[in-house]
Amino acid sequence: MDEKENLQEIDAQIEMADGKKQSFFSRLKWKRRRKKAEKIEKLQKEQLSEEETKIIEEKLNEAKREVSKSQEVTKKKKIRKSIFFVFNILLVAGILVWNILAMDDDGLVATALLDINFKYFLTVIGLLVAIVAIETASTHRMIYRKTFRSRWALAYKSTAICRHYDSVTPLSSGGQSFMATYLRNRDVPTATAISIPFSQLLFRNMTWLFTTTVCMVIAFAKGMTTLVSTFSIIGFIIALLFVGLILTFSYSKKAAGKAVSMIVAMLAKLKLVKDFKRTYVKIMRLMGDYQLAMNEYRKAKFDLLLQFVLHIAKIVALYSIPYFIHLTLPAVKTGTYGDFFVYTAMIDLASSFIPLPGGTGLNEITFAAIFGPFLGGSTFWGLLLWRSCSYYFYLVQGISVISYDTLYGNRKYNWVRRRIELQKESQEFRRVQIENFRKERNKRRIAQKKAK
């Protein structure tokens, strides 16, 4: 019998004894017993409170340790992000300086500001804006199709980051992993975050391959048999193989499984992967989700057609820029829109297989070789304007997005996400309270009916 029950028994005995006549010693005896029971109860409460205090202190200490660990991890992340941020700035600056210094000075003729046709210059800027808008719309549609959330800002920033890292990696194909990571960090499901950049890569390469094939046929029909055409054929073959490889991994589980197994085994031998089986299963699960997403795109005819139309429109806008550049600057001779479009496609094909960021080097050489006779002394400025629209712009745009997120965007997003979580919690709490009220009200009504 515990002390609480003992106290209750003593109180009951005292109440029973109150009705009878008691001696002085009997009353003293009952009072002592009651005081003793009260002291024991008080000691037990103090002991319990001490144990609870110890448990709370242990939990607080554990929480402090976790906070200190998270602070250390946060500091390391901040240091890594700062280093990465500075590296990006230096990389962009280095590429810009190197490309400008590598340009031929023979075409460096000062063009008077009044000689520039600003109407066509604004057309060039408009085409560049249209390209960015088309790319953003393509990404937005992919995000909305899977998450049913309209997130234009995320679509723009993730596309800018993808194009930025495409511009600083060989063969312009390194931005997909960065885009997938960015989308996943912005609460896009992992399978969707992986499928979006690689689906875009597939659509981009297929439409690019289709457009450049048509242009290459037209170029050979017109008798274009220069060195540029040879490089264009090499770029076309490499692009064709690359598209075939993506299609194989997108729809063949067997081929994807073998490729993943070989890559993971190689990484395990290099001690970069600790658990081969676990890593292989994880990657194959993501590969399965990606293939499922690609199969869904194949069945969704509207989205498939929309993506092809958007990517074709982007390529047309990009290949139209050199024609309007040639109209912007004082030209030696004029050319037709069709010729400039085909020539630009050949330049893009010729520089596509160069293992340098943005096809640097061959892109400039081929542009000067093809468009030099049209631009004459303005070739340098035409080349600078073309590379600014097709390459430098994406470097600056990407570093701007990274700078914004590093300084402000990431903190803002974390606060917004926390606010949404609190709103959901408050809504859930309100819903539970309303349900409990309704249950209690129904019980009262049932009780009232039974009483009647």
Going from the C-alpha of 263 to that of each of 255, 276, 450, the distances in angstroms are 12, 10, 74
- Between the two ends of the chain, the Cα-to-Cα distance in Å is 43
The model's pLDDT over 140-182, given as tens digits with 9 standing for 90+, comes to 999 988 888 888 999 999 999 988 888 777 666 678 888 888 8
b or e along 289-319 (b: 16 or more beta carbons within 10 Å of the residue's beta carbon)?
bbbebbeebeeeeebeebbeebbbbbbbbbb
Query: Per-residue confidence at 135, pLDDT binned at 50, 70, 90?
Result: very high
Joined tokens for residue 346: 């050949």
Residue with tokens 């901040």: 78
- Listed in sequence order, the residues at least 6 apart from 273 whose beta carbon sits closer than 8 Å to its beta carbon are 264, 267, 279
In percent, how much of the chain has pLDDT > 70? 68
How far apart CA 375 and CA 372 sit, in angstroms, is 5
The model's pLDDT over 244-255, given as tens digits with 9 standing for 90+, comes to 777 777 777 777
Query: Which segments within 99-138 are labelled E, that is strand?
Result: none
Q: What is the pLDDT of residue 159?
A: 92
Instruction: Please list the helix, strand and coil fractions of the chain in percent, rounded to the nearest 5, in that order.
Output: 85, 0, 15
Q: Which residues pair with residue 170 across a beta bridge?
A: 357
CB neighbourhood size of 70 (10 A): 10
Going from the C-alpha of 210 to that of each of 166, 236, 244, the distances in angstroms are 21, 10, 13
Q: What is the pLDDT of residue 107?
A: 42
DSSP single-letter state for residue 170: B
User: Does the pLDDT value for residue 223 go beyond 90?
Assistant: no
The model's pLDDT over 14-49, given as tens digits with 9 standing for 90+, comes to 545 544 455 666 667 667 777 766 766 666 555 555
CB neighbourhood size of 246 (10 A): 17
**294 with 305: CB under 8 angstroms?**
no
The model's pLDDT over 374-415, given as tens digits with 9 standing for 90+, comes to 887 777 788 888 888 888 898 889 888 988 888 888 888 888
Q: What is the pLDDT of residue 82?
A: 60
**393 with 166: CB under 8 angstroms?**
no
Comparison of pLDDT for 329 and 86, the residue scoring more? 329
**157 with 140: CB under 8 angstroms?**
no
Joined tokens for residue 128: 């560049």
The most confident of 19-28, 82-91, 290-299, 322-331, by mean pLDDT: 322-331
The closest alpha carbon to 6, from 41, 32, 49, belongs to 41
Joined tokens for residue 327: 């109209």
